[in-house]
Structure 1
Amino acid sequence: MGAIKSVDGSIEPQPFSLKAILPTMLAIVSGTIMVNLDGTVVNVAIPKLVERFGTDLMTFQWVITGYTLAMSAVIPIAGWLTDKYGSKRVFLLTIVAFTLSSVLCSFSQTVEQLIFYRILQGLSGGMVAPIGIAMVFKLAPPERRGSVLGLAQAPV
């Protein structure tokens, strides 16, 4: 249940409405899909990308490994950043950073550049899911959190 201030200054409970949080939920779902898709999309193109960059598979594996390690490394600081700067601000910043690093990946001329840009992607993308989950917990009342979180994570 949310609460609103009435004209006389008293706080009146307001029933929970999924419709009211829908725009935020769509942002969370879109961000989560983007990051998860990007974690696996490179896998289908490995043979062509190895050929394109003129490298070997052992070197190219760092494109995937660097992304995954970077994602894992930032999960613990996501909570601290949201406490310090606010979940909405940090979430939007990570989405922007993720998008910009994705653009940089598309302009990579060498495998080393691609590895570096994928690490940047992982650093920003690793915070999207934990911040999104925390935002769902703030948006939904305790009795509805399970179902709302299930909706937010269903596309994953």
Structure 2
Amino acid sequence: MAVKRVLLVCTGNTCRSPMAEALLAAKETGVEVKSAGMQALAGGPAAPHARIVVREHGATLDEHHAERLTGALLAWADRVWTMTQAQALQIKQQYPAHENKITTLASAGGSHEDIADPVGGDLDEYRRTAGQINQMLERIEWRKGL
């Protein structure tokens, strides 16, 4: 099955998953992308440093509003990529009907590392996290249908 929709998940949907969403949306992959947070406070903006870093990559988070992970979002997605192994495990336990499409972003990119959480960090920390996300996105073999 060709992947047409990717959901990226982190904790609060203000840093990692929105950055991953914006960076992926800016690539020519042919997939729709959304993001959500397992503990997100719905409606909140992306972190200021996340907006700056994404802009440096030619994308934007200016219109981002945090969204909490729901079963409806999981049903929408063909693939669900979390930022950490623990997040993937927790979602699989909470939503076992979707476990076959849940993995980490790093696993999709051929690695096993968690994506570092920059929350509360300085701009350079956000840059490192965005670089790590971009590296994983670049490793994914989009043309092979994932």
User: Shared fold by TM > 0.5?
Assistant: no
Structure richer in strand, relative to its length: 2
Give the alignment's TM-score, normalised by structure 2: 0.32
